C-alpha cells in the first residue's frame, strides 16, 4: 500500500497544481481582455469575474497540493486532509471523481492506517 500512498500523493500534487495554474491563467486572461476591450464597464465586470473564478480555483487547489506533499512525507494529518480533498474532488467529473475514489480507497485501508501510525511514537506503558 505504500506505493499507492505515494501515487496518491503525486496525483494530488499534479492534479491540484494544474488547477492552481488554470486559476492563475483564467485570472490573467479575463482581466487582460477586460482592459483591452476599452470599455470601462467590461473591464470592471471581467476583472471581478476573473478575480473570483481565479481565486476560487486557487483556494480549492492549495489544500490538495499541501495534502499531497503531506502524504509523501507520511504525515498523519495529511491522510485526513487528502481524504477531505478527495471527497470534494469526487464532484469534479471525470478526473476528480477517479482521483477522489482512488484516494478514499487507498487511504481507508487498514494497512495504510498502520503506515501513518508508524510515524507517531507508541505510548509508553508504565508498570507499578
Instruction: State pLDDT tens for residues 33-70.
Output: 888 888 888 889 998 999 999 999 999 999 999 999 99
Contact 36, 73 (CB under 8 A): no
- The domain limits of the chain are 2-109
Checking if the pLDDT of 125 tops 70, the result is no
Nearest to 12 by CA among 55, 53, 62: 62
**In angstroms, rounded to a whole number, what is the distance separating the alpha carbons of residues 3 and 87?**
21
pTM listed for this prediction: 0.80
Checking if the pLDDT of 122 tops 50, the result is no
C-alpha cell at 89: 474532488
Per-residue pLDDT, 37: 84
Amino acid at each position: 500500500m505504500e506505493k499507492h500512498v505515494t501515487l496518491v500523493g503525486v496525483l494530488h500534487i499534479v492534479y491540484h497544481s494544474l488547477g492552481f495554474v488554470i486559476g492563475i491563467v483564467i485570472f490573467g486572461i479575463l482581466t487582460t481582455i477586460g482592459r483591452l476591450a476599452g470599455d470601462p464597464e467590461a473591464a470592471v465586470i471581467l476583472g471581478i469575474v476573473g478575480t473570483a473564478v481565479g481565486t476560487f480555483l486557487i483556494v480549492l487547489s492549495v489544500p490538495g497540493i499541501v495534502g499531497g506533499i503531506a502524504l509523501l512525507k507520511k504525515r498523519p494529518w495529511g491522510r485526513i486532509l487528502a481524504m477531505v480533498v478527495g471527497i470534494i474532488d469526487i464532484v469534479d467529473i471525470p478526473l476528480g471523481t477517479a482521483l477522489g475514489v482512488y484516494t478514499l480507497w487507498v487511504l481507508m485501508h487498514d494497512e495504510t492506517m498502520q503506515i501513518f501510525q508508524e510515524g507517531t511514537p507508541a505510548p509508553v506503558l508504565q508498570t507499578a
